Homo-oligomer: A and B are copies of this chain.
Amino acid sequence: MSESTHANSPRWRRLPGERPRQILDAALEVFGERGLAAARLEDIARSAGVSKGTIYLYFPNKEALFCEMIREIPSRHIASVEAMISESATAREQLRAYLRNSWDYVRTPPFEILYRLILSELHHFPDLYEQFIEEVPMRSMRILAGIVTRGIESGEFREIDPLAAGRMLHSVLFVHGVWAAKRARIPFMRDLSDNQVLDQLVDFCLHAIGQAPAPTASHVHT
């Protein structure tokens, strides 16, 4: 009745420039909810505000859409985290700052979803997996290792294998990020605020790699 537009407001619009991104965002949502195999292209289409056929104008098939999504999404965020590394200050402060920034990234829903999808579907896309590993965790570890190295040189940190330390720091940080993103469903995260968890992380990490605070044998401060 009032559906058939006589004059204005067309039923749909041509937006070839924006479609890929709209579809990729919808794909993240639906793949994140159901996984690669169980996700329906029609759901992605509906969520993107287009019809199923349109997806095939921009992506050859379901798998390719999935891969493209994995490739595209992290590149949006990573750079901004890295840009924030402060040059000056002590290694301690650098580490604190980097942990705080990563913490904000790592708790976002897109990251949690991506991490989960990568983990569960990596079997069938080895190249994709390696790219992700290189672009997210290894990058993070290398930066952490760099900070640790500088801290060792300045005497702030104890002598520890910087790459190993980077791996350790990364693992606590990322796991807690994933947990925090799903906080409501995880009992032992429910009563903690994000800032509390971050404080615990920083405290734990700094003690793990820090120089002994006091060289004397037993000296418990209140």
Q: Which stretch, A47-55, A93-101, A153-161, touches the partner chain B? A: A153-161
CB within 8 A of A158: which of B33, B123, B137, B207? B207
Residues of B within 8 A of A12 (CB): none
Residues of B within 8 A of A161 (CB): 200, 220
Number of interface residues of A (CB under 8 A): 59
| A122, CB-defined interface residue at 8 Å | yes
A219 to B159 alpha-carbon distance, docked (Å) = 10
Distance (whole angstroms) from the CB of A107 to the closest CB of chain B: 15
Residues of B within 8 A of A158 (CB): 207, 213, 218, 220
CB within 8 A of A120: which of B35, B155, B163, B209? B35
Residues of B within 8 A of A167 (CB): 176, 188, 200
| A217, CB-defined interface residue at 8 Å | yes
CB within 8 A of A207: which of B138, B186, B209? B209
CB within 8 A of A200: which of B120, B164, B176? B164
| A205, CB-defined interface residue at 8 Å | yes
A200 to B162 alpha-carbon distance, docked (Å) = 11
- State the copy count for this chain: 2
Q: Give the most central of A34, A130, A175: most B CB within 10 Å.
A: A175
Residues of B within 8 A of A215 (CB): 212
A119 near B122: Cβ-Cβ < 8 Å? no
A129 to B186 alpha-carbon distance, docked (Å) = 9
Q: A35-B37, A168-B204, A216-B212 are in contact. Are A120 and B120 (CB under 8 A)?
A: yes
Question: Contact residues of A with B, CB < 8 Å?
Answer: 33-38, 116-117, 119-123, 126, 129-130, 133-134, 137-138, 141, 155, 158-161, 163-165, 167-168, 171-172, 174-176, 185-188, 200-201, 203-205, 207-220
